[in-house]
Amino acid sequence: MAFDFSGKRVWVTGAGRGIGREVAEQFVAAGATVVGLDLAFPEAVPRMQMAAYCASKAAVTSLTQTVGLELAPFGVRVNLVSPGSTDTPMLRGMLPDEGAMARTIAGLPDQFKLGIPLRKIATPAEIANTVLFLASDLASHITLQDLVVDGGATLSA
């Protein structure tokens, strides 16, 4: 399905790399003008050794809800997409060896992280497709949501 965002302006966080860059590129390909902010926010589920990232994520979630409530009377929809493990340079840089990707998919009980039921790491394009859907008219009655795109990894989190 092709989306048409001609004449629309979108705000993309993390547009300089990884998932954000893929989102920005897909919006541009669909005709949008992209305002890019090079910020990165990780998973919604707390993770060991990621305190600053998780605090940033909690702040963005709260901001999304507050801004969404304030702008809803004007017909503005505000949603958040929270990606799970996604094949980006950031994720690969965090993995200590070649087997780490498979261990991430299988789960890391010592870090209180379950595996990924879909048995694969997401691609930036899969996350970007979710963002474009939420921004499209197909999602015209969806607002104030935090859509987790993680292959089912947070099922029991």
What residues are annotated to the active site? 53
Alpha-helical regions (H) of 34-95: 51-71, 89-94
Kindly report each contact of residues 56-61 with a partner whose C-beta sits within 8 Å and lies 24 or more positions away, as own/partner. 57/82, 60/13, 61/146
Residue 134 CA to residue 14 CA, distance in Å, equals 17
